[in-house]
Structure 1
Amino acid sequence: MTTIPEVPATTDTDVHISRAFDAPRPLVWRFFMEPALLAQWFGPASVTVDPESVVIDPRTDGRWHLDMVDAASGDRFPLRATLTSVIEPEYLEGRIDGEQFGPEGGVTLRIWFHDHGEKTRVTLHQGPFAPEARAATASGWGESFEKIDALLAAGAA
């Protein structure tokens, strides 16, 4: 049996978000693990995700890849993660490549999915970030989660 880690202490280089979604845990999990759903919500309002770029291999040492596309310029921003732990539908962890994120040349993304009555509480912890990347990432996750809310309200999935 795999043990789900505790939420680590948050530092000034981390993003920490806790958010409830009005949907059962297996459905919320699908938004993170099914390419067609992930492409519909990931990223801030100013970007889209190229559905053809999404690759999810949901296992330890698997991939969680996508390309965000800036709506105004068309510039592409690839996100490449190696999954380090996948415990369906409770926990997802990956290491995201990219020197643009933080002082370590990449960041660790951890997401916990908890039953919360009729809802699902998602707890996200990501870091370490350089200060400017931390603020942009927190804002981007907030806008992304608003997209999930809208998709759930519209009956998507």
Structure 2
Amino acid sequence: MSEQTPTTSDQHILITRVFDVPRERVFRAWTDPDALAAWYGPAHVETPRESIRVDLRVGGRYELTMLMPGGGEFAIGYEVVELVEPELLVLRSDPMPEMGMHEPTVLRLEFHDHGPKTRMTLSDGPYPAHGRGGAEAGWTAAFEKLEAQLAE
């Protein structure tokens, strides 16, 4: 069982969640393409393994494409800007003008030992007002899938 605390500022999302596994497993779930394919994206969204590319180094790329119900695709690209395994992963998104996001967002993931568990803190933004709620709901739903994948 995990705990989650979402907080939303005007432009940023902050979610803290505790998972019942060591932080190396949670970090690997974010950085191993096979693990990402098992959970990334909200419910009813698939992220095929062949669409995932992770070049895990500062300056590397982190790219994936989610397949939406009904056939739509949503591609996301990031640059790895900070990396401290298995403690910190910071990604800067490519702008997505088609989504009204003309500036990059910064996704910051911190992984802390919490006894035998992991406390993961996600910070993401800035988002335009119209995109923040959808992004928060998407992360929250994805973390339900992540929790199930980690329990296997």
TM-score, length basis structure 1: 0.87
Structure 1 alignment gaps of length 5 or more: 1-9
8 Å contact from structure 1 (residues 65, 78) kept in 2: yes
8 Å contact from structure 2 (residues 53, 62) kept in 1: yes
Aligned residues: 143
**Alignment correspondent of 1:42:** 40
**Alignment correspondent of 1:88:** 85
CA gap 1:11/1:105 in 2 versus in 1, 3 angstroms: same
**Alignment correspondent of 2:142:** 144
SS in structure 2 at match of 1:105:
coil
Q: CA deviation at 1:132?
A: 2.1
Query: CA RMSD, aligned part only?
Result: 1.3
**Alignment correspondent of 2:61:** 63
**Alignment correspondent of 1:22:** 20
- 1 CA distance for matches of 2:14 and 2:122? 6
CA gap 1:46/1:124 in 2 versus in 1, 3 angstroms: same
**Alignment correspondent of 1:121:** 119
Q: CA deviation at 1:18?
A: 0.3
TM-score, length basis structure 2: 0.90
- 2 CA distance for matches of 1:95 and 1:148? 21
* Residue identity (%): 40
8 Å contact from structure 2 (residues 26, 150) kept in 1: no
SS in structure 1 at match of 2:137:
helix
Q: CA deviation at 1:11?
A: 3.5
Q: CA deviation at 1:46?
A: 2.7
Are 1:74 and 2:86 matched, yes or no? Answer: no
8 Å contact from structure 1 (residues 101, 107) kept in 2: no
SS in structure 2 at match of 1:106:
coil
- 1 CA distance for matches of 2:25 and 2:62? 18
